[in-house]
Structure formats: structure tokens, C-alpha cells
Amino acid sequence: MNLTAADRIAKAVLYEGYMLYPYRPSAVKNQQRFNFGVVYPQAFSERQKGTDPWTMQSECLVLGSAGSVLEVRVRFLQLVDRSIEERAEGGFRAVKALDVGERSWYSWQEAVEHEVSVVATDLESLSRSPVSWPVQSSSGAETEPIQDKRGEVAGRIVRTQYAINASVQVAAHGVAEQVYKIDVRIGNTSELGVNAANREFALMRALVSTHFVLGVGNGEFVSLLDPPETLRGAAEDCHNQGVFPVLVGEEGQRDTMLASHIILYDFPQIAAESAGDLFDGTEIDEILSLRIMTMTDEEKREMRDSDERARKILERTENLPAEQFMKLHGAVRGLRHVNGEMP
């Protein structure tokens, strides 16, 4: 599996929508986040009549033989509730924000990364016996004190993570001689109890930015965007729900597929001019960087204090060299002939 290439692209889509400009918890657009690649608990999905899915599926084609080996990795984010509590008489009370000295703390939803690797297996065995694998995380809470300059506890941070119970199934189906259809699907069966209709409650037990990375040894994947004519019908029969698989790696490599919740072309690349992730898929790097530079000191303070990833975006943008900033304006990737003449 070409993990190096897949990781770069997967990291970019993993945090898409994590935090939108102006990168502050108080911004309305950041009050309801993570619209991409969400696999909700089944009970919540059924209450919504399926409009919010509890399953995700990807199908693709592999040219292989009995000795071809498949590996599947499932990656997603899980929300962690970060609440801020101020010290009060007799204990602590929850607040949206807490100022202690020159630093502020904000209630927020952080995210932790998860990855599940399904044991590699040969396609012939997989065609006879599909594989099912658990996807689980346990519940728990951690407390971190907030101290003032005198070292006294002024408040605390409480991070709460809720249990997730899901499973991934991988199957292979022979569709022609030495041609297999790979079927990867995941379902979220996390318990919700009486809160099955509560979206915020369900999101804390959902798989977010979910995607699959598939690798094959002694075989090669078939592009679903540009399949050979002999396999066009089989490619059109592949069903994808919530994700779409594309080839990743150097042009021409066919050992790795990324089934992403963000629709991509085959062999996507991170632009060399990009200085780093900005999370906001509705804008381009130059516009976002310019907007960040116009923020007030108070807005930047909230951005810096609210989230570690947001802080890194701010520091990177403020320290961006002029020559690097100019590169964000655009680049010519190549020229092509038009009617036999160069444009």
C-alpha cells in the first residue's frame, strides 16, 4: 500500500470542515460543525428517516488472482466534549468561557483520530468468507486544572469522550476472470437510549470525516472514473454511499485507493504552494490567509486560545514570508495545444 501518498491526501480531507473561518467557537458557523463523512448511530438515523446515514459503503474493482492480498484501513474522527468550569463556592460551575490572567479558555468540541486496520487477506479467501471487524472506542473523562498566576485553581477543563460501537465488513465478489469487486461498508450501532432524536447527543457517538484506504498486493485497482472499455459496465455497477474511491500515488500507480467523503480525481495532489491545512473547503488559501490577517487582536486571541490547530493556522499565516504569500495568488501548471498552436 502506498501509504505515504494516501496519508497526505487523507490528512487533508480528514479535517475538512473541522473549524471554519473565522476560526472561533463564538462564530455561528462553528456552532454546528462536521458536515462531511458523518456516520451517525443507527437509532438517530432511523428517527431522521435515513436522511442522516448510519452506514457508509464503497465498491471498487481489482484486477488480481488467488494470490492477491487486500488490506483496508478505516479512519475517522471522534468528537470530544471540552467543557470549561469556573471555580465557585462549593465546587465548580459550567461556563462558555473563562478568563484567567492573559489567557482565555473556551468550551469546544475537540477531535481525536482513530484508525482501524482490517487484517490483510487474499481475494480468493475473501470471496468465500467476508471479514467483519469491530470499530470501537470506550467512554471516559479527563480533568485538567486551570491555575492563575499564584498557582491557585481558578477552574478546570473537563474532556468527555463517549463510547462508539460500529463494525466494518469487507467482501470480494468475482465479476469476471481475475476481476473482483471489493465491497467495504461500515455501520454505526452505538446506543443512544432515550436521546435517539437528539442530534448533538448522536454526533458525540458518530464517526466523523470517515474514509477508507485500500491497498492491494500482487494486483491493481481499476479507475472508476476512467475504466477500460471492457470493464466499464462493471465499474458502473459499483455502488458507493457517502464516499467515492480514487487512485492515489504517482500517476500510473494502481496499488492504493482512497475512498473519500470529499470527491476527488484520480491521483490527487496537494498543491506545492499550500503552506498547510486551513480546513475551510469553501475558500482558497489566498482568500483565507488575507482574511485572517485582517482579524482584530481580540478575534485572534479567541482563535489562538480556543483550539490548538487553529493556533497553528494563525501563527503560520502571521509568519508567512512575502514570497510564499505571492505564490498563493496562482500558478501555471502547464500549457496545451489549441487547434495545433500554443495558446
How does DSSP classify residue 62?
A: E
How does DSSP classify residue 178?
A: T
Give me the helix-helix angle, 308-318 and 297-306, nearest 10°: 140
Backbone φ and ψ of 231, nearest 5°? -115, 10
Q: What is the 3-state secondary structure (H, E, C) of 38-54?
A: CECCHHHHHHCCCCCCC
Backbone φ and ψ of 20, nearest 5°? -100, 150
250 and 4 in contact (C-beta within 8 Å)? no
pLDDT given at position 89: 86
Tell me the per-residue pLDDT of 71-130, one tens digit each, with 9 for 90 and over.
999 999 999 999 999 999 889 999 999 999 888 999 988 999 999 998 788 999 999 999
53 and 41 in contact (C-beta within 8 Å)? no
Tell me the per-residue pLDDT of 172-229, one tens digit each, with 9 for 90 and over.
999 999 999 999 999 999 999 999 999 989 999 999 999 999 999 999 999 999 999 9
Closest by Cα among 69, 62, 72 to 176 = 62
List the helix and strand counts (H, then E) for the chain.
9, 15
pTM listed for this prediction? 0.85
Closest by Cα among 3, 121, 123 to 66 = 123
